[in-house]
Structure 1
Amino acid sequence: MTSRVRIALLVGLAGVVLVTLIMAPMLMSTFPSFLGGEGTSGDCGDDVTNVTNVSDTAQSDIPSNYLQIYKKWGKKTGVQWTVLAAVGKRETDHGRSNLAGVKSGTNYAGAAGPMQFLISTWGGKAKIKIPSKFNGYASDGDEDGIADVYNPADAVLGAAKMLKRNGAPGDLKRALFAYNHAMWYVEQVLEIARRYASDGTLELPPADDPACDTPLVEAAPTDAVRKILEYALAQRGKPYRWGGTGPDGFDCSGIIYMAYRSAGLSIPRTTFGQWPFGVKIPKGSEQAGDLVFFNSGPGTSSNNPGHVGLVVSPGKMVEARCTLCGPIKMATYRDRPNIVGYTRPLQNPTVLGQLKRLGLT
């Protein structure tokens, strides 16, 4: 090989690396709330991530400590471990890159660590004590009390949260496009993820299964809650529609308003009205029919939540999320860091009177 050819190849390789850094993760936060991720995504407890699905390519290419981290947080969050590993490969070759910002400092775009987080979205600095009130995607994956953007255990967990917020494990293209705004990047990551899976495919969560609804409805504590759940669950698959109260589409509070109406009960129409209406209940005591509120959306705060879901069982809710977030669906909620609190509208004095008149107490 001539020296001129060697120089051309090196220049070409440098160009590819430079493009990757230019397109560092742009962790946008325009969607209303985190998609849930405690455990996995199947409504009947299905494990959507087969962590034993490791190809020879993955075993030879991924450092053993990174592979364990990808598999651990893939299983715990429901995001395909192969996708997490593919992001790590595409960004920094699993932390092996010696370019600026990988092991210390930032690159010129402000990205840092093996998963190339923008410091501004990690929490404003590379290392943050946990818990921290304003920590962005900063995560403590190794439970040492510090969210360190350069620590692969912390960075991979942060990446899993970010991808889950934006559509993973189901809508991988949207989730990856949120991570890095380039379709070529999305396609490259998906191709790497397929190569890392022993069967060459990407596992996707199953669609909502109506067969899962029966035990949820039968477990409802009262007839009123049973009617509320039946209505809400029947709306899955319909589109999000701002201001919608059906029958063709709903927004987050609209589906709850109509679910309660289906049981003959009247509650406020909007999230801002529903938040002060119900009796506040402590975390962990929520049950079917309760509401879970999130600090999400323009003009909202911890005292003025802008997003709400209907609890159908502990840890799961029916949610109408946003126009770009796909149809109304079942989602998990307990790992979302922007939960404001929980309420029980059925304990509001007005609703208690309605229940008595309807004979549903």
Structure 2
Amino acid sequence: MIARIVTAIFSTFLLLLLLAVAAAAALFNAFGKVVNPAGSAAVAASAQATADIPADYLTLYQQAAATCPGLPWTVLAAIGKIESDHGRSDLPGVKSGANGSGAMGPMQFIADTWTAYNPPGTVGAAGAPSPYNPADAIPAATRKLCAEGARDGKDLRGALFSYNHATWYVNQVLDQADQYAAPPAVNAATAPTDAAAKAIAFARGQLGVPYLWGGDGPSEGGYDCSGLTKAAYASAGITLPRVAQDQYYATTRLPNSADIQPGDLVFFGTPTNVHHVGIAVGNGQMIEAPRPGVPVRVGPILYPGNDYLGVTRPRADV
């Protein structure tokens, strides 16, 4: 009896493991690669980034991020912006001393955390590491984030939460990081059909338009996710339902093993609760109206922790 129970438990575990592997393989086949939440350390700097970040800090952010695969330099830069305006702030603790919470330097370390990530024997840029020297502080922040989950993009939000225990802080850092990353090029010419090319071209023209729940375009103040996809395909002569749930069922669903093509719609949620949709533009990217406070942008389709559902292909006879 005990042997049968053990065998059943093992069989169940093996089945779950195989299902997990199959799901991961399907996602890999669908996208070609797993995309990290904000790209990689090689992400190009946006015009805002080059205008706002001092050249020496920009170099330090990019060099430090390269030591932690999966941690975008834009995230380090966003922390530096929020914590000290890249060392330019005159608030207590940035250039000397500590603020009321005991935080020091451009990346705002408290003493215990600084010591934890600069143990005895650590060599700084100019001798003993200093939390006030960005050449020491930025690599230390990288080591902390990497140790707390940022490596390989496993838990970037968790790593940021460990840096400052507030959900609003995590969201603010990620939103600022988005602004520092130059959007990848979108080439509508690679779309498989004229309709897909027109939809992508329309969506690209909406980059930067504010998010507005229930919004159908700039005349109303912005788009929500399905408002954007509906308007994009309307420009190509294809009528889609208004909400993401209905768009999912009104378009041709593709198997997870299918290659995602520019112009395909990508959905998130569950079959009975579809909550987000974007337009694929190639190279694992999509144009989307993501959420309140974040305008229409180019972003990754797949990253650890999201709830990708599947892909569909709009047709002229929908």
Q: TM-score range with shorter-chain normalisation?
A: 0.5 to 0.7
2:256 aligns to what? 282
Q: 2:279 aligns with which of 285, 310, 316?
A: 310
In structure 2, distance between residues paired with 1:256 and 1:333: 15
Picking from 169, 175, 200, the partner of 1:179 is 169
Counterpart residue number, 2:139: none
Within the alignment, does 1:353 sit opposite 2:294 as a pair?
Answer: no
- Whichever structure has more helix as a proportion of its residues is 2
Provide the C-alpha distance between the structure 2 equivalents of 1:345 and 1:74, rounded to a whole number of angstroms: 31
Please say if residues 302 and 340 of structure 1, whose CA atoms lie closer than 8 Å, have aligned partners that are also in contact: no
**2:201 is equivalent to residue 230 of structure 1:** yes
Per the alignment, in what secondary structure is the counterpart of residue 211 of structure 2? coil
Looking at structure 1, the residues matched to 178 and 313 of structure 2 have their Cα atoms a distance apart, in angstroms, of 38
Query: What SS does the aligned partner of 2:147 have?
Result: helix
Distance apart, 1:303 and its partner CA: 4.3
- Residues in 2 aligned to 1:154 and 1:345: alpha-carbon distance in whole angstroms: 39
Alpha-carbon distance in structure 2 between the residues aligned to 1:38 and 1:87? 22
TM-score of the superposed pair, with normalisation by structure 2: 0.53
Instruction: Find the aligned partners of 1:219 and 1:290 in 2 and give their Cα distance.
Output: 12
Distance in 2, matches of 1:92 and 1:162, equals 22
Instruction: Give TM-score scaled by structure 1 length.
Output: 0.47
> How far, CA to CA, are the matches of 1:93 and 1:292 in structure 2?
41
Secondary structure of 2:216's aligned partner: coil
Q: CA deviation at 1:245?
A: 1.2
Counterpart Cα distance in 2 of 1:227 and 1:271 = 20
Contact kept? 2:40, 2:70, Cα under 8 Å = no
8 A Cα contact 1:315 1:334, kept in partner: yes
Compared with structure 1, are the counterparts of its residues 225 and 317 closer, same or farther at alpha carbon in structure 2 (3 Å cutoff)? Answer: same
Q: How much has 1:156 moved relative to structure 2? A: 3.9
Question: What corresponds to 2:59 in structure 1?
Answer: 53
Superposition map of 1:8-23 within 5 A: none
Q: Distance in 2 between matches of 1:276 and 1:307?
A: 13
The amino acid that maps onto 2:189 is: E
> 1:205 corresponds to which residue?
180
Change in CA separation of 1:90 and 1:316 when aligned onto 2, cut-off 3 Å? farther
* 1:71 alignment counterpart: 67
Please provide the CA RMSD for this pair: 4.8
Find the aligned partners of 1:220 and 1:68 in 2 and give their Cα distance. 37
Equivalence for 1:245: 216
CA deviation vs aligned residue, 1:243-267 (integer Å, no higher than 9, x gap): 1111431110010011111111112
Residue 330 and residue 156 in structure 1: after superposition, are their counterparts in 2 closer, same or farther (change >3 A)? closer
SS in 2 for 1:306: strand
AA aligned opposite 2:317: G
Pick one of 283, 296, 303 that aligns with 1:335. 303
Residue type of the partner of 1:258? Answer: A
Cα distance change, pair 151–261 in 1 and its aligned pair in 2 (3 A):
closer
- What is the letter of the counterpart of residue 36 of structure 1? P
Q: Quickly say closer, same or farther: Cα 1:334–1:94, change in 2 above 3 A.
A: farther
Aligned mates of 1:287, 1:274 — CA distance in 2: 17
* Structure 1 residue ranges without an equivalent (≥5): 1-33, 56-66, 98-149, 167-172, 191-201, 296-300, 355-361
The Cα of 1:54 is off from its aligned counterpart by: 4.0
Give CA-to-partner distance per residue, 1:66-118, whole Å, 9 cap, x none: x9788314655752278499769349525729xxxxxxxxxxxxxxxxxxxxx
Q: 4+ runs of 1 displaced by more than 6 Å?
A: 47-52, 67-70, 84-88, 163-166
Question: How much has 1:161 moved relative to structure 2?
Answer: 1.9
Q: 1:262 to 1:164 in 2, by over 3 A?
A: farther
- Which position in structure 2 is the counterpart of 1:271? 244
Partner AA of 2:288 in structure 1 = E
| 8 Å contact kept, 1:292–1:311 | yes
Indicate whether 1:259 and 2:232 are aligned: yes
Alignment gaps of 5+ in structure 2: 1-34, 81-104, 118-143
Distance 2:115 2:257 in 1: 38
Secondary structure of the residue aligned to 1:162 is: helix
Match of 1:153 among 139, 147, 156: 147
Name the CA distance, whole Å, in 2 between partners of 1:165 and 1:310: 28
What letter corresponds to residue 318 of structure 1 in structure 2? I
Residue 274 of structure 1: CA displacement? 1.5
Q: Deviations over 1:300-334 (max 9, x none)?
A: x464221111111131111111222x211111222
Instruction: Give the percent of matched residue pairs that are identical in Structure 1 and Structure 2.
Output: 25
Which position in structure 1 is the counterpart of 2:192?
A: 221
8 Å contact kept, 1:36–1:165: no
Contact kept, 8 Å, 1:227 with 1:262, in 2: the verdict is yes
CA contact (8 A) 1:35 1:332 kept: yes
SS in 2 for 1:256: helix
Equivalent in the alignment of 1:80: 76
Amino acid at match of 2:195: A
